Amino acid sequence: MAEFIERGRSGRSMERPELRQMLAYLQTRPVDFVIVHKIDRLARNRADDSAITNLITGTGARLVSTAEPINTTPGGRLLHGIMASIAEFYSHNLATEVMKGMRQKANQGGTPGRAPLGYLNQRHHEGDGREIRTVCVDSERGPHITWAFNTYATGQWSITQLADELNTRGLTTRPGPNTAARPLTLRSVHHLLRNPYYKGVVTFNGVESPEQHEPLIDPVTWAAVQDILTAHRNGERSRTHDHYLKGTVYCIKCGRRLIVQHTRTRSGRVYEYFVCHRRGNFDCPQRRALPIADVEQRVADSYRNLTLTAELRDRIEQVAVAGLHHQKAAKAERLHNLIKQGRTLEANRGKLLDAYYSDAIPRDLFLAEQRRLKIEHARINRERATIETDHATIERQTRDALDLLQDVHTTYERATEPIRKQLNRAVFERVLIGYEPDQIRVELNDPYRELVSPDNESSTETDF
């Protein structure tokens, strides 16, 4: 006699260790009876019940239930089939009711299931004995989640660096009844950054619902992180060769990035070059490598043409500040309109959810409309964030930019490599460079594109 006990395993699956062991046991030993408590403990659907029963009877054993009078007679087989059908119905009906309850909770902004990392599920009882389940911010892990989003939104960190820093800070997964807390993996960090729950949106079965929990990040930061993740295709790769001009210099022939290449001679000496990213695919006419020292000097020299005289600086400041004050009223009106659009959008999202849950529209149409509203909501939030920047801040940034341009070449020459990298990203949209010394074209970012006079800007460009 042998006993096989399956603890905490669903009868809906045949992939159960104890069931597999029992079936293997039947193949190696003569057994007369296989006794189960109830049919639904053995299988929860008719297909599995039939398969398991055939495997048992194929060894010469008989299946016996202690709670149901099944046997090999026609009546016993009929009862067996009926009990298997009832077990399948009960299992499917229970799953349907559970899903209905979870969907209803999500529709009301609640959290179905376990809250993600950074939050805690809480239970408390009202005076009448009712149990209330809520979600609150995990005071230990929540701040790390906020830091992770804000840090990754800068665009200066890779997923690998972020995961290492989070683990160094002590952020771990939550321990369970049978599992210990574990360090975060790259996959878990990427999943964390993609989870809209942290911006206050509950997603269940593809449906987004308004939140009741406290968001850990704002919509603008969320959108910035998603843009970076999408651009990097599930995370930025860590590069072996780094340089402060990477991401700034581009090939003047095809417009693609220049990357760092290290060439080692037979004597062991290493030479550093910039080469076109597409050179190896033979679809760029720029075949020759560019010495890194030469590219560094040409970028530094391009700052000479961006220097403003004191007189021109003051004149530009007056025009810029006057323009900002002129735009103030128009921006206030635009902000008012955006707020109204946002409220209308929220009302439409509520109507869409009501229509979907009342089965008034099909799922594919609902998901398409939900996506459209989501894109529109992100656009409104980005525009609001831009407009809501106060005029004092904009004026200060304009003056700072003008101050920088007064002697930007000297500042750049004296700067460390990390500061040079920041200056390049702030001033240049990109610098296109070719092999010949005069092959360089500078494209400026705002506000420098407007601040630099046409004469100055054109002097930094040479057509190829």
Topology annotation, domain 108-175+182-237? Hect, E3 ligase catalytic domain fold (3.90.1750)
- Does the pLDDT at position 283 exceed 80? no
Residue matched to tokens 């920088």:
404
DSSP β-bridge partners for residue 24: none
pLDDT at res. 239:
47
Residue matched to tokens 């209803």:
104
* Average pLDDT for 8-33: 75
Extract the tokens encoding 67. 């709670």
- Does the pLDDT at position 175 exceed 90? no
Give counts: helices (H), strands (E), the chain: 16, 12
Instruction: Give 12-78 as a DSSP string.
Output: T-S--HHHHHHHHHHHHS--SEEEES-HHHH-SSHHHHHHHHHHHHHTT-EEEESSS---SSHHHHH
Residue matched to tokens 């400026």:
444
Q: Can you tell me whether residue 162 is helix, strand or coil?
A: helix
How sure is the predictor about 96, in pLDDT bands with cuts at 50, 70 and 90?
Answer: low
pTM of the complete model = 0.45
Extract the tokens encoding 379. 């656009």
Is the model more confident about 429 or about 451? 429
How sure is the predictor about 205, in pLDDT bands with cuts at 50, 70 and 90?
Answer: low
> 362 φ, ψ to 5°?
-70, 160
Extract the tokens encoding 167. 């683990």
Q: Which of 279, 166, 156 is nearest to 225 (CA)?
A: 156
Most confidently modeled range among 270-284, 322-336, 401-415: 401-415
pLDDT at res. 208:
62
Topology annotation, domain 17-101? Rossmann fold (3.40.50)
- Does the pLDDT at position 156 exceed 90? no
pLDDT at res. 461:
44
pLDDT digits 0-9 by tens, 363-415: 888 888 888 887 888 788 877 777 766 666 777 777 777 776 677 888 888 88
Beta pairing, strands 62-65 & 33-36:
parallel
CA distances from 179 to 142, 173, 174, 215, 330 (A): 21, 10, 9, 27, 58
pLDDT at res. 279:
65
pLDDT at res. 107:
59
Contacts within 8 Å (CB) and 24+ apart, 284-290: 284/251, 284/253, 284/254, 284/256, 285/253, 285/254, 286/251, 286/252, 286/253, 286/254, 286/434, 286/435, 288/435, 289/261, 289/263, 290/258, 290/433, 290/435
Most confidently modeled range among 143-147, 386-390, 422-426, 451-455: 143-147
- Does the pLDDT at position 195 exceed 80? yes
pLDDT digits 0-9 by tens, 105-146: 555 555 666 788 988 888 766 666 666 677 888 988 899 999
Q: Which of 210, 217, 215, 219 is nearest to 106 (CA)?
A: 210
* Average pLDDT for 180-201: 87
- Does the pLDDT at position 457 exceed 80? no
pLDDT at res. 293:
92
Q: Which amino acid is at 277?
A: H
- Does the pLDDT at position 48 exceed 70? yes
How sure is the predictor about 162, in pLDDT bands with cuts at 50, 70 and 90?
Answer: very high
- Does the pLDDT at position 453 exceed 60? no
Most confidently modeled range among 222-236, 269-283, 411-425: 411-425
Is the model more confident about 108 or about 34? 34
How sure is the predictor about 235, in pLDDT bands with cuts at 50, 70 and 90?
Answer: very low
In the predicted model, what is the mean pLDDT of the chain? 78
C-alpha dihedral (126, 129, 130, 133), degrees to nearest 10: 60
* Average pLDDT for 237-244: 62
- Does the pLDDT at position 237 exceed 70? no
- Does the pLDDT at position 236 exceed 50? no
Max CA-CA distance within the chain?
107
Is the model more confident about 43 or about 152? 152
- Does the pLDDT at position 464 exceed 50? no
Host H or E run for residue 451: helix 448-451
How sure is the predictor about 249, in pLDDT bands with cuts at 50, 70 and 90?
Answer: very high
* Average pLDDT for 413-441: 87
> 309 φ, ψ to 5°?
-75, 160
